Amino acid sequence: MNVLPSVSADAYHADQVTDGPTLSKSIIQILLNASPAHARHAHPRLNPDFERKEESKFDVGTAVHQVFLEGVDAVAVLPYKDFKSNAAKDERDEARADGRIPLLVKDYERVEEMVVALKAQVAVHPEGPFFANGTAEETLVWEDDYGVMCRARLDWLLDDRTACHDLKTTKASASHDSWSRTALSIGADIQAAWYGRGMRAALGCDPEFRFIVAEVTPPYAISVFAVARDTLALAEKKIDYALKTWAKCLRNDEWPAYPSEIAYVTTPAWAEAAWLERELREVAA
């Protein structure tokens, strides 16, 4: 059980934190939503042909996340209008090899504007302040009860360990109703439960896990979320299933894909009810 404060983001995502493969939140999501075969294919230590895809397009959310948590050294601002020239491409590739995000000047200006707005909001939030008096980007490594080596990377842990803050950005709405629906689709429940396990195992503490969600368009409004206890309890069951599956696959070196049985398409109750309602309306007419 370890806390590794100096692991780079690239090293973390390449799973260069232990001698063997570790299980992460993203791999758990693949196990739950797809299959062990898909999880193995996506794992940097288990797939000999694994190559992490670098996004060629500008992603304001990723850049803001890095600059907000790690400062301007996390990016390389390049003096070009685009990345079409060979010189621009070479400097872009050098920045990535150095573990930094390459940004054009115009894109960095947008990132800087959002970071300024975000810092101003989190500093005065009535439930905050957030991302203060703590440590950014610590990596946790621990062995779970199933004998599985696990890893997690915390955005921000308060020094008093009462809370852990995770920054999320969204191109949609950060309103309470909207992002509450988004949360489960992106595995926010799994992340909160998984990171909770990691902090209990590696740090001996159980902070409240909070998502600070920021919109990437002006006025860059934020909302704060935590996962309800009943949702966390269900997420724990999902994680236990993933751990058992992962341990068995590692032990036997067998990574099955989808079940071979024929699956039957059924009509959801809401769709059937909608059709019956339509029939009744047409008969009445």
Per-residue pLDDT of the chain (285 residues; tens, 9 = 90+): 688 878 888 899 999 999 999 999 999 999 999 999 999 999 999 998 887 765 555 678 889 999 999 888 888 999 998 889 999 999 998 988 888 889 999 999 999 999 999 999 999 999 988 999 999 999 999 999 899 999 999 999 999 999 999 999 999 999 999 999 999 999 999 999 999 999 999 999 999 999 999 999 999 999 999 999 999 999 999 999 999 999 999 999 999 999 999 999 999 999 999 999 999 998 887
C-alpha 9/C-alpha 100 separation (Å) is 10
Q: What residues make up the domain containing 208?
A: 2-284
CATH number where 129 lies = 3.90.320.10
With CA atoms as reference, report the closest residue to 226 among 199, 208, 238.
208
- Beta strand 134-143 with 208-215 is unpaired
Contact 224, 14 (CB under 8 A): no
List Cβ neighbours of 255 (8 Å cut-off, separation of 6 or more). 35, 36, 37, 39, 40, 249
- Antiparallel, parallel or unpaired: β 208-215 and 163-170: parallel
Predicted TM-score of the model (pTM): 0.89
pLDDT of residue 55: 57
pLDDT of residue 212: 97
- From CA 120, how far away is CA 136, in angstroms rounded? 18
